[in-house]
Amino acid sequence: MKVTQQLFVTLKEEPADAEVRSHALMARAGFLHKLAAGQYTYGPMLLRVLKKIEAIVREEHEAAGCQELLMPALQPRELWDSSGRWDRYVADGILFHFTDRKGSEVCLGPTHEEVITTFVKRFVKSYKQLPLILYQIQTKFRDEIRPRFGLMRGREFIMKDAYSFDASEEAMKASYDVMRGVYYRIFERSGLRFTPVQADAGAIGGSGSEEFMVDADTGEDAIAVCRATGYAANVEKAVSRISAAPATPEKVGIHKEPTPGAKTCEALLELFPQLPIERLLKTVLYEATTEEGTSVVAVMARGDREINEVKLLNHMNALDVQLASPETVKRVTGAEVGFAGPIGLAEEVRLLADSSVEGVDGFLCGGNETDTHYLDVWFGRDLEQPETLDLGLVQAGDLVAEGEGEIEITRGIEVGHIFQLGTKYSSAMDAKFAPEQGPTEPYWMGCYGIGVSRVAASAIEQNHDDAGMIWPIPIAPYTVMIVQMRAGDEAQDALAQEVHDNLEAAGIDVLWDDRKKVSPGVKFKDADLVGVPLRIVVGRDATDRKVEWNSRSEEGSEVMDVDAALEKVKQAVTEATAR
């Protein structure tokens, strides 16, 4: 393909709202254009990338025996009521929903568990038709709170979603393992560096789930990893062991201390320099919304620990948890924010504690009175130890829960998420099959998502430099770029044409910069920006059948015979696709 036959425009300016490199570079290179928040036109170059990712996704799914189908994006409310998810998704605000001309409520699908379950329910009646894994590649719609980071978090984005149906729990786990293998191969073949991690199942639900994280400092997700044991989990889900609090002091009586304006642990430590931070117990107030309504919950934790709101939400079986408003804090503690404690809270408050408080005694805690804390408080003597459970956020330096090793926190971009759903949807939707013996049973399900458009963005987050994008060969818009220094020069025209035809004949896609009135400097700048991974420069030495060869990811270039350069290209392609 010649550049002059393409819509090929590069811009000097980055969009003002581009917060991450992948967005800025893709916008400058004409790969995408923002229509509205979280909605992008995918230009021809980007579409080539997406099609390559989709091809890898399809090949690996087909190889594992999955079948492709296509479901409607527009879905009726009744379907979502039948699984019980409509209210939660509406409350979350994630669902795009509206009323059609007949007055029926509909939504634009953020995910397709309900649609696939009604489809399979209609056609799969017997255990003999199982196992079954179906998938589609389709645009999904989510009214994200903060659509940003370009393709990373769209309100409209391309997802591959697959669903497995099995006759038993063991069979579901076997399908899950098959899909885990499919995911490994897809991300490996795409040329990405990634880490699979244990994950929270969120609103999708189910019993077990893992996320595939592309390693990138700009990732929105924090991951707890232990190099010694291989443990890796999203911090939303991660568990750890923490060091014990220092030995407790002698028992002295509980008493109030004036703590004017001391609303944070730091301020309190300044007032009580002799107190180790572990003996300062904070009490954080939340408003939790469940199907029954909103209630206030107070969570205690050691001063050096943070509370994991995802664990709290799961424990409360809540739709949402938020820090309590100052008005609520005042109502249930009688004090301003910053002085809440476990003693003397309003009746309506449910008190929980993170397991970090276990064994801590003689501590400082809020007095439920503005500018006041209690000191030398003992569980058992001054108050009952509240229900304790793991509600803590794992921190760097914690000990791994099983085995020996330390936790580090790294960052990643979630490109895939796989779930064991159990019978959550099939039971709710009465979707059953006849087993070999006995009455009908609900299918055992799994679901498996890949953010196809997010994969493209994450590849660039992981592979770029100051000059532009660096596409991994397997998903690059073009594999080779021919930069012709002087288009119109007879020897150069002929040699560039030869390189072009030779590579196309070998099934390698090539973009040929044949622009006439553009300087070599601009051509090199554009080639760097667009990030085609392999480059052949056809210039002055064309008369000697010599070209310059270089790889976008490596410094420097080499002048060589054209046949040797073609050989280099073919070798690089073979290596990159042999994974």
Interface residue list for Mg ion (CB under 5 A): 417
Segments in 157-255 forming alpha helices (H): 169-189
Measured from the CB of residue 578, what is the shortest distance to ligand ATP in angstroms? 26
Q: Which is nearer to Mg ion, 221 or 526 (CB)?
A: 221
Binding flag, residue 106, ligand ATP (CB under 6 A): no
Stretch that binds ligand ATP, among 28-36, 176-184, 329-337, 449-457 (CB under 6 A): 449-457
Peptide bond into 131 cis (omega under 30): yes
Tokens found for residue 274: 């002799």
- Which residue from 45, 107, 120, 159 is in contact with ligand ATP, where contact means CB under 6 A? 159
Contacts of 379 (CB under 8 A, 6+ apart): 360, 361, 385
Which of Mg ion, ligand ATP, none does residue 415 bind (CB under 5 to 8 Å by kind)?
ligand ATP
Query: Which residue's CB atom is positioned nearest to ligand ATP?
Result: 451
Which of ligand ATP, Mg ion, none does residue 159 bind (CB under 5 to 8 Å by kind)?
ligand ATP
**Scanning residues 382 to 441, which ones bind ligand ATP (CB under 6 A)?**
414-417
Query: Which residue's CB atom is positioned nearest to Mg ion?
Result: 417
Measured from the CB of residue 419, what is the shortest distance to Mg ion in angstroms? 8
Binding flag, residue 112, ligand ATP (CB under 6 A): no
Q: Between the CA of residue 557 and those of 466, 508, 535, 547, what are the distances in Å?
A: 18, 21, 9, 10
Alpha-carbon Rg for the chain in angstroms: 29
Q: How many chain residues are in contact with ligand ATP, going by CB under 6 A?
A: 17
Decide if 355 contacts 274 (C-beta within 8 A): no
Q: Going by DSSP bridges, is the β-strand pair 132-141/67-68 parallel, antiparallel, or unpaired?
A: parallel
Binding flag, residue 54, ligand ATP (CB under 6 A): no
Binding flag, residue 187, ligand ATP (CB under 6 A): no
Which of ligand ATP, Mg ion, none does residue 144 bind (CB under 5 to 8 Å by kind)?
ligand ATP
Q: Which is nearer to ligand ATP, 278 or 414 (CB)?
A: 414
Which of Mg ion, ligand ATP, none does residue 451 bind (CB under 5 to 8 Å by kind)?
ligand ATP
SS (H, E, C) 295-357: EEEEEEEECCCCECHHHHHHHHCCCEEEECCHHHHHHHHCCCCCCCCCCCCCCCCEEEEEHHH
Binding flag, residue 150, ligand ATP (CB under 6 A): no
Binding flag, residue 531, ligand ATP (CB under 6 A): no
**Scanning residues 191 to 220, which ones bind ligand ATP (CB under 6 A)?**
202, 204
Which of Mg ion, ligand ATP, none does residue 426 bind (CB under 5 to 8 Å by kind)?
none
Decide if 558 contacts 548 (C-beta within 8 A): yes
Residues 27 and 200: their CA atoms lie apart, in Å, by 33
* 42 SS3 class: strand
Stretch that binds ligand ATP, among 149-157, 422-430, 475-483, 550-558 (CB under 6 A): 149-157
Strand runs (DSSP E) across 216-280, as ranges? 221-226, 231-234, 240-241, 255-258
Measured from the CB of residue 103, what is the shortest distance to ligand ATP in angstroms? 30
Tokens found for residue 453: 């458009």
Question: What is the per-residue DSSP string for 513-541?
Answer: E--SSS-HHHHHHHHHHHT-SEEEEE-GG
Residues that bind ligand ATP (CB under 6 A): 111, 142, 144, 153-154, 157, 159, 202, 204, 414-417, 449, 451, 453-454
